Amino acid sequence: MQKFLSIPVTGEQSQLVSANDIKLIEQFSTTVVKIFYGGGKVTSITHATAASGNEEMRDAIQDGVVSILSQRWTNVSIDLVMPKAVSEIGIA
């Protein structure tokens, strides 16, 4: 049962990010949230600068993960409203 976060990216409309097999979500810096998956894959979400110690971007993604995973299987993605503008999403 595949689930995704639908994250608006500046100039690119929205991009789907997997909500499956996530191990940990971290506010890696004031401009990057990282989603760590099983097997070592990492998705980095680059966003407008947050205040030092502020984790509202991580919290927004966590809330989205919990919400979509608790919905029925026909709800495949959830549209997230991010507190900071996202400029890039990449995976490594």
Partner 1 sequence: MEKFLNVPVYSLIMNGTSVTPVGSADLTDTGDVFSNVSVGDIVHQSTDNEYFVVASKIDNNNLTLNALDGGTAPIVSGKAFFIHSGSSYNNQLVSIGDVGLIEQLSTSTTTIAYDGPAAVDLITLVHTPVAAGSESMRDQVQEQMEEALIASWTDVAPEPVLLDYKVIGISIG
Q: How distant, in Å, are the alpha carbons of 34, 70, 73, 84 from that of 58? A: 8, 18, 24, 11
> Smaller CB distance to partner 1: residue 30 or 36?
36
Instruction: Report the nearest approach of partner 1 to the CB of residue 13 (Å).
Output: 27
Q: Is 29 in the site for partner 1 (CB under 8 A)?
A: no
87 SS3 class: strand
Which range touches partner 1 (CB under 8 A), out of 7-15, 43-51, 65-73, 74-82? Answer: 65-73
| Beta-strand pair 13-18/32-37 | unpaired
Q: Is 50 in the site for partner 1 (CB under 8 A)?
A: no
Instruction: Report the nearest approach of partner 1 to the CB of residue 47 (Å).
Output: 17
Q: Is 65 in the site for partner 1 (CB under 8 A)?
A: yes
What's the rounded Cα separation, in Å, for the pair 91 and 84? 20
